[in-house]
Amino acid sequence: MGINNLFGGGKSSGSVDAAKGGDPDFADFSQDAARAAVPVADSAAANAPGVAPTLRPYTKWYRIHERHSLSEFKSEGVILSMLVVVLLLHLFGARLNRNKAKRWIRAHSSALNAEFASVGFSGVPAIVADKKGDELLQALTDVNAQLGDDALKEKSLFEFATYATGRANVAFLDVKLTLVKRFNPLVVLIEFVFGFFLDVSAQTQDVAEATLYPFDGKEALLVPGLPGAAELRHKDSKSGFDNFVWAIVHKERMKTVREDRYDVSLTATKDNAKLPNWLTVMTESAEITDALLTPELAEAAEKAGDLLEYLIISDQPIEKPKTLNETTPRKRVFLKYRLPANDDYTNLLPLFRYFLRITDKLVQVAHFRPEVLRKVKAPRDATVRQIQKADEESKAEERAAERERLKKAKRDQELKALDAKAQKKYLEREREKELKKSMKKQTMRA
């Protein structure tokens, strides 16, 4: 019996208890397993006459649909449904943004192609490298027309950009479209709530920002060495104009623009009868406004309506300069407007075309009397003096710190050369000197 127990021949008390139903959770399974353990007759015995075949017993453990139901997977179903909804909203929102960007470039491509020799990021193709003069310009126009929607580059699902160059008085043009994050409704909701309470509504709107960089007399430094580049401008052209800051700004955006931009903070706000009541002029001199606010510009701005946020001509940086190098004038022209919900740009295109040609007007009329230029130059000189003063104070602090460091090093060296008794006397003399200085300061204050 001991041998049988050793090799599993006998039944242990544990197995007997289990067979008697020691674990009720497996009672049904044990009975089903016992029935299933009955051997099935082989094919020869099963076919013998008078012998009934033994079939596999029915049990629910082999039929998962009887042990489980769909009601047990409610949470999984909810999660999967939410993932599907999020995915569909993402794809649908991304498609909406792409379609809106494409409608913008389709509406503005004719104006860009008419003013610039090269539009988009593809550059000048090699097939036009051997052409010159009018033939080159016509070839570039044909290439731009063939680009179509490819003239616009997708930087992200809510940012699109295009580029243009090859025009008299203009080095290049950058355009950026910033669209609502329609592919992420949760982010849109959060931005809307923040915009409602913090007055930053521009975050939840589709906007176009165009920045035009004039040559300002630096053609020789800025024109790239492209085939036929010398043909794109007149050799005797003078593209320079005076330094100033001037802007047309929507009154609802006036405070934000003044706070966010250093250059506009140099101007004074003046209402003008030529403009509609929702727009105002921010200028450094009335003479500048008289020269730049033409009837054509006023009409285009009025036609753009409430969508126009600002048109800014500036020679100063957007951020307040902290070094003398940052105070160097760098002329740019900025245009920002909101995209219409119906993608109808009929009323915005006149202003956009005027913006593309504004450097021609600046080269012609933006040359002012010395009195005006002195007034414009005064705040710039004040900023330069502030930076110089801050630099001098910083250098003085550095020199004082260096003197203090050398003085301390000399003192430590002198102390090391003395014995303990001499060091004690040295430190006592230092304390006496400090005490006399403090008493002298108190006497002077009294």
For the chain, what are the domain ranges?
2-67, 75-217, 379-435
Cα distance between residue 329 and residue 381, in whole Å: 12
pLDDT for the residue numbered 244 = 96
pLDDT for the residue numbered 53 = 56
The helix (run of H) or strand (run of E) holding residue 395 is: helix 370-416
Taking the chain (446 residues) in runs of 10, the rounded mean pLDDT of each run is 46 44 49 47 48 58 70 88 92 95 95 90 72 72 81 94 91 95 87 70 80 88 56 60 96 92 94 94 96 96 95 96 92 96 95 96 95 94 93 91 90 85 85 83 71
In 3-state terms, what secondary structure has residue 274?
coil
Maximum C-alpha span of the chain: 133
pLDDT for the residue numbered 230 = 53
Beta bridge partners of 45: none
CA dihedral 400, 387, 240, 363 (to 10 degrees): 180
The residue behind tokens 């913008």 is 104
Burial 171-210 (b: 16+ CB within 10 A, else e): bbbebebbbbbbbbeeebeebeeeeeeeeebbbbbbbbbb
| Strands 246-250 vs 279-283: parallel, antiparallel or unpaired | antiparallel
Helices (H), 119-205: 133-147, 185-198
Beta bridge partners of 214: 170
Helices (H), 184-343: 185-198, 219-222, 254-260, 262-265, 286-292, 295-304
Token digits for 406?
């050398």
Q: How many CA atoms does the CB half-sphere of 135 hold within 13 Å? A: 7
DSSP annotation of 284 reads: S
**Is the separation of the CB atoms in 313 and 358 below 8 Å?**
yes
In 3-state terms, what secondary structure has residue 14?
helix
Nearest Cα neighbor of 115 from 212, 225, 222 is 212
In one-letter notation, the amino acid at residue 86 is: V
Helices (H) and strands (E) in the chain, counts: 16, 10
Cα distance between residue 322 and residue 307, in whole Å: 34
pLDDT for the residue numbered 46 = 47
Work out the number of other CB atoms within 10 angstroms of the CB of residue 40: 12
Distance, CA of 437 to chain centre: 57
Cα distance between residue 135 and residue 91, in whole Å: 44
Strands (E), 262-402: 268-270, 279-283, 308-314, 332-338
Distance, CA of 139 to chain centre: 35
Q: Give first-to-last CA distance, the chain, whole Å.
A: 113
**Is the separation of the CB atoms in 282 and 268 below 8 Å?**
yes
The helix (run of H) or strand (run of E) holding residue 223 is: none
- List Cα–Cα distances, 69 to 72, 76, 113, 359, 382, in angstroms: 6, 13, 64, 74, 80
| Strands 308-314 vs 332-338: parallel, antiparallel or unpaired | antiparallel
